[in-house]
Amino acid sequence: MLIEARKLRKYFSLGHGKQVHAVDDVSLGIAEHEVLGLVGESGSGKTTFGKTLIGLYDKTGGQVVYRDRELPQRYQAQDYKRQASEIQMIFQDPYSSLNPRMTIQEIIAEGLLIRDGGNLGSVRDKVVYWLERVGLHGDHLSRYPHEFSGGQRQRVGIARALIVEPKLLICDEPISALDVSVQAQVVKLLGELKQSLGLAMLFIAHDLSMVRYVSDRMAVMYLGSLVEVGPADAVYFSPQHPYTKMLISSNPEPDPVHERQRKDVIVSGEIPSPVNLQPGCRFAGRCPLVEPHCRLETPMLRTVAANHLAACHLL
Amino acid sequence: MNSYEPAAHEFASVARQPGLLTLTRPSQSYWQDAWLRLKKNKRALASLYLIIALLLMTLLGPWLWHQDPTLQDLDVISQPPSFGDTALVVADPGLWAGVTADTATLVPADPDGKLVLTATARIQTVGAATTQYVRVSWDSVPGAAFYLVYRNDHAPESGEDLGLPLGQTLAAAELSFEDRLQLREQDYWYTVIASDEIREATSFTTERIHVQRAITATQARERLLPAPLGATVALQSHPFGTDSLGRDLFARIIEGARVSLFIGIVAPFLFVLLGTIYGGISGYFGGTVDAVMMRVTDFLIALPFLLFMILFRIGFGIGPGESGIFPMLLALVLLRWEDPARLVRGQVLQIREEAFVQAARLLGAQPLYLIFRHMIPNTIGPLLVNLTFSIPMAIFTEAFLSFIGMGVAPPTPSWGSMSNDGLKSMLSSPHELLFPAIFISLTVLAFNLLGDGLRDALDSRMRSRE
């Protein structure tokens, strides 16, 4: 495993003894050159997991091991600097992820300048190379972020992250703020870069078919905990956990014939509040197959097929 | 209905032709863009020019307008605005012997009271009648013991309407009077009434005398206007008039602008700087540090400014009526930094969580780099707007404090203290209040409009991010 989270936990304090269980005992690893898709509803803790994994949030509990070395519990500036050439991230919102006061050249060169020193002139060639590699023009160098569209900004974000040649890239919903035609371009670009650079990626998204398309493995989160993980096609085509079934059935199928034949899993209700959770299966309140002991005992992940795990008492 | 079957060739990709259509415009930085927006806002631009003009007036004024703001000229007390006035140079008044009649020719007073006093035959001026002095003499009246002299600024309509009683002569032989009482350039009606020991004459003579503007030879020498006696010299113009001590109001407004703008610009700069540092620390560290620091600012709001201003004055040993610019500055800086501190703290808290700051963290940025490269440049816009709005507030505070006598003290002029001086003679010479008040209002208005324009110019970028 390149990076592995072991019982990673992140709670946010709301004061008055209340805590949001954003990520609760999640154990998940990413192998070298592997793309792991992480899906779940809004508020399921996908992004928090990604950010806690690489130290943008302090861990409440558990550990993260990167290449057999345990990463710090609480990051200082030097810790980020040490891992800068290993782990990078691209962000969900292409509008807030670029400093509006900096030119594209300054934004992309930032990582190199922080790591190696030097000035803009000395890294110019490399910046131009990456700018063209992500599909922008060399003459965009001195422009400002507001002159670009969302897709172009996302490309700038990708160039900024990859110029330091990391081994692991966290993609936090990189396409959810883009329109559909641009989504395909960005996903294609990420796929190409992954192939040529040998990147490992954590691809966080809620578009299931897109995640299936880009990922080797797929993990499903619900209310801060992992409910199912396995090979992308296995999870997509034979989901085991009732929540995964619901997610996949809610995902529209492009083929109308296939769409009509699909069985609908109707699940009512919304994701409950993750404040001060009680023991028991977190999905119990919405699960159509719920049994009394689901509400008492927290289910553990268990193997249901080769490399395919799910956390449900009924399996 | 025929169904349309697209052929493969219709979807052939078009090769990119270099240089076929490239629409480009020069890239605009944040400040260039803000300047363009500000230029479109006519009110803000006019305000900017007005502020620049005010600053130039303050800095270059004393070189261009040579009048001494402290020079008192009692000849031109509370004079309304004047341009290109001229004056006659006359001899210094000195001691005037006056006109005396030969005692032998005088008819003494009649002890029986039978002799009816008549009006004097004529009144005449001795020498030129000028604003320095008017010397009148008259013919003797039989039976008069002394004479009363009156002056009026219009033709008397009756014996009750003679105007100002200037004085009376001490003897029957004294047939002249020298008037040096606040003469202005205008017509005066002088009346001489004869009187014996018992009663005044019932008839009198009135003479209209035109008084000419004049300065004495000594005054001319002092003002470096060397001219022979009887020559006409050009006087200083007073475009804004003069105050109650005859000081040039325009020169005083220029001088007063220094105090007003000094307080108005230095105090906001200092308290915005203090607030930025405080708010930046509070926002960057967050958590408990932030909570404690923000409670301190909450406490600060509760402190009454005026009370502290008075306490500082006492603390520095400055009594009533003494100049206290420093305590005013100190009170402003110590009690007004809470607003920019809150602003910066909010901005930093917000920017700290922005994705571009997290990205820079992941790239290994040190805290100082984050603060100076990412946080401050993104805070400077709102901060500039805050500064621009703080300036009129400080100017107004200074004017107010000087107006109530807590700020600068005479002879240093400030717009506030000048307004206070002018208030006393508001009805008789309104220009003394009007000009300083106009300058306070214009400056405060200009800074406020500029602040409005800046906010729009800088904020619109924030809006266009969506």
Q: What is the domain count for chain B? A: 2
Domain ranges of chain A: 3-86+166-310
User: Using the beta-carbon criterion (under 8 Å), do B30 and A144 form an inter-chain contact?
Assistant: yes
- Kindly state the tokens that stand for B400: 């107010």
Same domain, B291 and B398: yes
pLDDT at B26: 67
pLDDT at B321: 66
Q: Which stretches of B286-352 are DSSP H helices? A: 287-301, 305-315, 325-336, 338-352
Same domain, B59 and B145: no
Tell me the C-alpha to C-alpha distance, in Å, between residue B166 and each of A235, B121, B144, B149. Answer: 115, 20, 18, 6
- For residue B39, being part of any structural domain is answered with no
pLDDT at A266: 65
pLDDT at A64: 92
Q: What value does the mean pLDDT of chain B take?
A: 83
Asked if A41 and A205 touch (Cβ cutoff 8 Å), the reply is no
Q: Does the pLDDT value for residue B320 go beyond 60?
A: yes
Residues B223-232: contacts with CB within 8 Å, 24+ apart? B225/B89, B227/B89, B228/B89, B229/B89, B229/B90, B229/B91, B230/B88, B230/B89, B230/B90, B231/B88, B231/B89, B232/B86, B232/B87, B232/B88, B232/B89
- For residue B383, being part of any structural domain is answered with yes
Query: How many other CB atoms are found less than 10 A from the CB of residue B262?
Result: 17
CATH of domain A3-86+166-310: 3.40.50.300
- For residue B418, being part of any structural domain is answered with yes
B217, B235, B257 - which closes a domain: B217
Of residues A175, A37, A193, A168, the one with CA closest to residue A94: A175
- For residue B38, being part of any structural domain is answered with no
**Beta strand pairing status for A200-204 and A18-30?**
unpaired
B199, B217, B235 - which closes a domain: B217
CA atoms of A153 and B158, how far apart (whole Å): 94
Same domain, B421 and B279: yes
Give the domain CATH number at B141: 2.60.40.10
Looking at the complex, report in whole angstroms how far the Cα of residue B454 sits from the nearest Cα belonging to chain A: 17
pLDDT, tens only, B91-125: 888 888 888 888 777 777 666 667 778 888 888 88
Same domain, B248 and B209: no
Contacts of A153 in chain B (CB under 8 A): none
Same domain, B268 and B326: yes
pLDDT at B24: 62
3-state SS assignment for residue A270: coil
Choose the mutation target among A78, A80, A153 for the interface with B, i.e. most B CBs under 10 Å.
A80
Q: For A237-246, B19-28, B80-89, B115-124, which range has the lowest pLDDT when averaged over its residues?
A: B19-28
The nearest alpha carbon in chain A to B460 belongs to A146
Q: Does the pLDDT value for residue B466 go beyond 60?
A: no
Question: Quick one: residue A43, left, alpha or beta (phi over 0 = left, psi -120 to 50 = alpha)?
Answer: left
Instruction: Give the DSSP letter of residue B160.
Output: T
Same domain, B258 and B111: no
Tell whether A91 lies on the interface with B, counting CB pairs under 8 A: yes
Q: Does the pLDDT value for residue B465 go beyond 60?
A: no
- Kindly state the tokens that stand for B170: 């001490």
CA atoms of B110 and B253, how far apart (whole Å): 63
Could you read off the pLDDT tens digit of each residue along chain A, which spans 315 residues? Answer: 889 999 999 998 887 878 888 898 899 999 999 999 999 888 888 999 999 999 889 999 899 999 888 998 888 888 898 888 899 999 988 888 999 888 899 999 999 999 888 888 888 899 999 998 888 888 888 888 888 888 889 989 999 999 998 999 999 988 887 888 888 888 888 888 888 888 999 999 888 888 888 899 999 999 888 999 999 999 998 899 988 888 888 877 777 777 777 766 666 667 777 777 778 888 888 888 888 888 888 888 888 888 899 998 887
pLDDT, tens only, B144-194: 888 889 998 888 888 788 888 888 888 888 888 888 888 888 889 999 988
Choose the mutation target among B361, B362, B383 for the interface with A, i.e. most A CBs under 10 Å.
B362
Choose the mutation target among A48, A82, A90, A99 for the interface with B, i.e. most B CBs under 10 Å.
A99
pLDDT at A159: 92
B366, B377, B465 ranked by CB distance to A101: nearest: B377
Query: How many other CB atoms are found less than 10 A from the CB of residue B159?
Result: 13
Angle at the Cα of A114 from the Cα atoms of A113 and A117, rounded to 5 degrees: 50
Same domain, B281 and B337: yes
Tell whether A220 lies on the interface with B, counting CB pairs under 8 A: no
CB pairs under 8 A between A and B: 86
Task: Specify the amino acid at residue A247.
Answer: L
Dmax (CA) of chain A: 67
Q: Enumerate residues 6+ apart whose C-beta is below 8 A from B122.
A: B138, B139, B205, B207
pLDDT at A298: 86
Angle at the Cα of A300 from the Cα atoms of A294 and A303, rounded to 5 degrees: 120
- For residue B363, being part of any structural domain is answered with yes
Same domain, B316 and B420: yes
3-state SS assignment for residue B148: strand
Same domain, B126 and B192: yes
CA atoms of A170 and A50, how far apart (whole Å): 7
Q: For A90-104, B3-17, B348-362, which range has the lowest pLDDT when averaged over its residues?
A: B3-17
Same domain, B99 and B51: no
The boundaries of the domain holding residue B248 are 46-70+244-463
B217, B233, B256 - which closes a domain: B217
Check residues B356 and A315 and name the one with the higher pLDDT.
Answer: B356
pLDDT, tens only, B407-455: 787 778 888 888 888 888 888 888 889 998 999 899 989 998 998 888 8
B304-316 average pLDDT score: 85
pLDDT at B464: 42
